[in-house]
């Protein structure tokens, strides 16, 4: 759905559900997930439907993920960091299940 304007130079590596993923330094976690082509960043707590970021400016809360052990963080407002651990959310964060690929 998205591709880079230019090859990544200034890259950092974070882990998404345990897999190493490269990101451009200074970008948001949401941008990194979209570049990586994940099919969803969370499954809704109500029906388990797949969701991806929708507004990218902090209003819709569709981009929620777990970051470094804390659930429900807005991926579109959080900058990537070397070694950051991101997990996609399955349902409500207190009942986090092992991530589905």
Of 55, 92, 95, 100, the one binding ligand FES (CB under 6 A) is: 55
CB-wise, 18 or 58, nearer to ligand FAD?
58
The Cα 17–Cα 42 span in angstroms is 12
Of 15, 22, 39, 100, the one binding other proteins (CB under 8 A) is: 39
The Cα 28–Cα 44 span in angstroms is 21
Q: Is 56 exposed, middle or buried (0-12, 13-18, 19+ CB in 10 A)?
A: middle
Which stretch in 13-21, 24-32, 83-91 sits in contact with other proteins by CB under 8 A? 24-32
Q: Which does 31 bind (CB under 5 to 8 A by kind): other proteins, ligand FES, ligand FAD, none?
A: other proteins
Query: What mask, x for binding ligand FAD by CB under 6 A, covers residues 47 to 66?
Result: ----------xx--------
The Cα 86–Cα 95 span in angstroms is 16
**Residues in contact with ligand FES by the rule CB under 6 A:** 30, 53-56, 58-63, 74, 76
């Amino acid at each position: 759905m998205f591709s880079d304007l230019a090859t990544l130079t200034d890259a950092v590596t974070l882990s998404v559900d345990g897999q190493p993923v490269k990101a451009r330094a200074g970008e948001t976690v949401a941008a990194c997930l979209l570049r990586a082509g994940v099919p969803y960043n969370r499954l809704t707590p109500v029906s388990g439907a797949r969701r991806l970021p929708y507004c990218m400016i902090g209003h819709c809360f569709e981009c929620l993920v777990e970051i470094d052990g804390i659930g429900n963080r807005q991926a579109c407002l959080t900058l990537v960091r070397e070694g950051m651990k991101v997990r996609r959310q399955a349902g409500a964060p207190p009942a986090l299940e092992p991530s589905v690929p």
